[in-house]
Amino acid sequence: MEALARDATEAIRVCGHSVGYGRCMLACLMHDLIARGGSTMRIVLAVDGSDQSYYAARALEHLKQADKITALHALDVPYPAFPMVMPEVAGDLYAVTEKRLREEGERVLKFVVSVLPPKTATVSTRLESGRPAEIILSVAGEEKADMIVLGARGLGPVKELLLGSVSHRVLAHAPCPTLIVNRALESLRHILLPVQGPEDAEAAIRFLTTKPFQEPGEVTVLSTEPFAQSPWLIDASVAESVTQQIRQSAQRFVEDTAARLTALGYRATPVVRTEAPGAAILNQAEAAKSDLILMGSRGLEGVSRFLLGSVSHTVLHRAPCPVLIFR
């Protein structure tokens, strides 16, 4: 990559002299790609007209400049299921409802496009019929999305504190990182990064190496240590010695992870809390006034277990800020 950058820079320097116009333009594109982290950013933005989906659209201004944004609205039209209604009448009711919801969906998409960041290379809209979660996952695959962004709650009959059934299913099966927006993301100055172990840390480093945000910001690397005494330890001095070793190991772990993030250009701070993991994440987010919680998962098979676990359930349903799950 460094050699590619040098070649591109040299080609730009001599542009108009010994390098032809076409090669110079290619070099300029290479240089721009390298400057943006060496990768593209394709985002699927799922919207439904709720406040949270509007917040999701506005949150894109804090992410790396997107090469393409696909604004998606899923049209979930219920078919009339009344035993006493004749099939012809039911069909007419369905057609009228579908037409009304389609018109509303087009208005939602038009409004969302109007509030997107102005420097997006390409913006397209898709109005698809089907179950929202399945539509989002399908379109993300078709568009080869690098990130899915959606609101935490929709306009459906069941509105959970953070996760609705759509966002929950998308999180469990998404092929790419997913940003769940539960409130307005006014700024992205502070990111909380809980890490459970080396696998989480490595995944976080890989994700943050792509420079997914407009500004590096400050990152708090958080880990927890057990606070309950092991049942097989009887002697208090032995128990204290083991606890101290665990604490020191946790501290070294977060310090090492923070150092690696600092080398990438982030302002990283290590923190270890002696609390249950879910409580530690929420309390640290509140104390630091975090703008975003960044959490990892261990592949598609592991993500279902992780997201359905008590820790992630607690965080995702009670987070005081948006949550980004990376893979």
For the stretch 208-223, pLDDT in tens is 999 999 988 899 999 9
**Residue 257 pLDDT exceeds 70:** yes
Backbone angles phi, psi at 183, to 5 degrees: -165, 170
Read off the pLDDT of each residue in 296-310 and give the average, rounded to a whole number: 51
pLDDT band at 154 (very low <50, low <70, confident <90, very high): low
pLDDT recorded at residue 177: 95
Q: What is the H or E stretch that residue 181 is in?
A: strand 178-181
Task: Name the CATH code of domain 190-326 (choices 3.30.1360.150, 3.40.50.620, 3.40.50.1100, 3.20.20.140).
Answer: 3.40.50.620
- Spatial CA neighbour of 295 closest among 325, 267, 273, 322: 325
Q: What is the H or E stretch that residue 296 is in?
A: strand 292-296
pLDDT band at 1 (very low <50, low <70, confident <90, very high): very low
pLDDT recorded at residue 83: 59
Per-residue CA distances from 84 to 6, 29, 71 (Å): 74, 64, 39
Q: Cα-atom radius of gyration of the chain, to the nearest Å?
A: 24
**Residue 32 pLDDT exceeds 70:** no
Q: Which two tokens stand for residue 219?
A: 């990152």
Read off the pLDDT of each residue in 56-71 and give the average, rounded to a whole number: 94
Q: Which amino acid is at 16?
A: G
SS3 of residue 45 by DSSP: strand
pLDDT recorded at residue 74: 93
Q: Which two tokens stand for residue 189?
A: 């100055």
**Residue 14 pLDDT exceeds 80:** no
**Residue 34 pLDDT exceeds 60:** no
According to DSSP H, which parts of the chain are helical? 2-13, 21-35, 51-59, 87-114, 132-142, 165-173, 198-209, 236-263, 277-288, 299-308, 310-318
Q: Taking the mean position of all CA atoms in its chain, how far away is CA 3?
A: 31
Q: Which residues of 35-46 are buried (b: 16+ CB within 10 A; e: fewer)?
A: eeeeeebbbbbb
Query: How many C-beta neighbours within 10 Å does residue 126 have?
Result: 16
- Please state whether beta strands 122-129 and 190-194 pair in parallel, antiparallel, or not at all (unpaired): unpaired
pLDDT recorded at residue 30: 43
Distance, CA of 54 to CA of 36 (rounded, Å): 26
Distance, CA of 323 to CA of 262 (rounded, Å): 22
Burial class of residue 18, CB neighbours in 10 A (0-12, 13-18, 19+) = exposed
Per-residue CA distances from 15 to 18, 28, 217 (Å): 7, 10, 35
Spell out the domain ranges in the chain. 2-35, 42-181, 190-326
pLDDT recorded at residue 241: 74
Cβ neighbours of residue 327 under 8 Å, at least 6 residues apart? 174, 175, 176, 177, 203, 296, 297, 299, 300, 303
Distance, CA of 283 to CA of 220 (rounded, Å): 13
Cβ neighbours of residue 33 under 8 Å, at least 6 residues apart? 39, 40
CATH topology of domain 42-181: Rossmann fold (3.40.50)
pLDDT band at 90 (very low <50, low <70, confident <90, very high): low
**Residue 12 pLDDT exceeds 50:** no
